[in-house]
Structure 1
Amino acid sequence: MANTIYSATGCARCNVTKKYMGENSIEYEEFDFKAEGKEAFSKFYRENRSEIFRDKDGVEFPVFTDGKVIRQGVSVVIGYLVAGDDLQGFIGRSELHGEWLDGINISGGDPAKTDQLVQVISYIKQSGLKIQAVTIGKNSDVLEALLQKGLVDRLIMDVKGPAELYLDLTGSPVDEDDLKRSIKLTSTAPEHSFITTIAPVSRSEGTIEYLSPEEIAETAQLIEEASGSKKNCYTLCPFDPKTSGDERFSSLEPLPASAFFKYRSAARRYQVMTEIEK
């Protein structure tokens, strides 16, 4: 089956995708949902409803298929056209609209695919979109490559906690030098911030408890030491056991709002601009 793009009149991200395909001699058939292609897309959507993302604002365009897979969103589609599925860990669905594009997870992909990632983001950024990326402190070489080329407009670093707790918090360990280097690089981004979710961890005695204020203070101190500054934008975020998807936490009660002030006070010893997510 030939390549097919489902687009929408006035969709700038659709135009970027079609421009890329045209410049790279990738043939495709287009159906405009807001014009003559409405019936064709409606049929395609009914047949593939479970694979097409739709929220309260409607379907995110462009939607692309080559007859084997369905890909959605400008970065995901171009990423697939450049490298097949090799960039899936790096590039996900964007939740931002207008001039901003997110869904770029620097820690999520294979560093060996950095050149392809740079190629995709460079093309999208040249189209006029602004890039928001996230990192949890892994793949600092990838982060450096993107920053050196000026490809990240806004960078959010999710410091999960002290390095020794990363295995429990994320399912895989982190190299402490990689983590510290990521913090330092993040602090050089044009617009950057740090966040930490006060998440539950499994303790050695078999209990499950939230990160302690002391562990949050240790995390804030890590940010200070690695970035060389006490004045980073740092936000503490609540953890919702009901939406975590982890059965271990199904009976866990959320931290009461009043508890966050103790965490903020602990963090402000090392990051004076610490705030609680509202």
Structure 2
Amino acid sequence: MNEQLELNEYKQQIADLYSRRGQTYDQGDWHPRIAHRLIEHAQISQGQHVLDIATGTGMVAIEAAQLVGFAGRVVGVDISTGMLEQGKRKIEALGLNNIELVLADAEKLNFPANSFDVVLCSSALIWMADIPNTLRFWHQLLKPGGLIGFHAFADTAFVGGVTVQKVAEKYGVSLALSKPTGTIEKCHDLLKTAGFEAIEIKSEQDGSYITLDSLEQAKLMCFGGSHPVPGQFPNPMKQLSSGQLEEVKAEFEAELAALVTEQGIWNDVTIFYTFGRKPISRSA
């Protein structure tokens, strides 16, 4: 694994964030559960070659490797060394030899065109710097007839992000967060524009009640100086004065406090399992 990946400041912030999270990322059941659902919907079969984008600790890649068998091959790519280290430990423990994890930028990969039967991206599409161009790029990497599949989140998903968007807009700040893929129509249009056909989007509701304390990550993302914001650099909140930022924080916390019930705060997590195929009749 090449440890000298050159990243711009935005992507370096993302890499550092996830390297810090590497040792605890597999805790809890949410990430593993939605990774498994992505694999289920993709219907991976023996002998396929699979590319797992932003593989992290290898949740999708490892399950795919177990499905493609000895005749298949899985490559997982990520910009976070900390996440990849965890993934490599899991692969070694399982004794898998048909999978490789590579330190690489998902928007600048060196694989030949028409290399993969399946390209998957779990929970990471919103971090891409240029989603439309990135999807066109991944389209090139697929064989004709190949399948792309990714998670997208509704623009109503994640109460912390939705709340800070609402408050920030009062101060003239626009946070994208899940907006680029926030509806089924947007997901469909992104894939169609990128050249995919046979587009299928399955919406599944995965929300739960959470506590105020569990929203610290949302606060860091929006108010932390070096914390990256998906798809936007620099963090748009930096255009606010220190006084305005304090006002936004206060309004944000007040809005969340108003949502508290006896069960906690309802955190909608509507997920779009989004799939499309590269046409057989046209090359990339």
For Structure 1 versus Structure 2, the TM-score category normalised by the shorter chain is: 0.3 to 0.5
Higher relative CO (Cα under 8 Å, sequence separation at least 6) belongs to 2
TM-score by length of 1: 0.34
TM-score by length of 2: 0.34
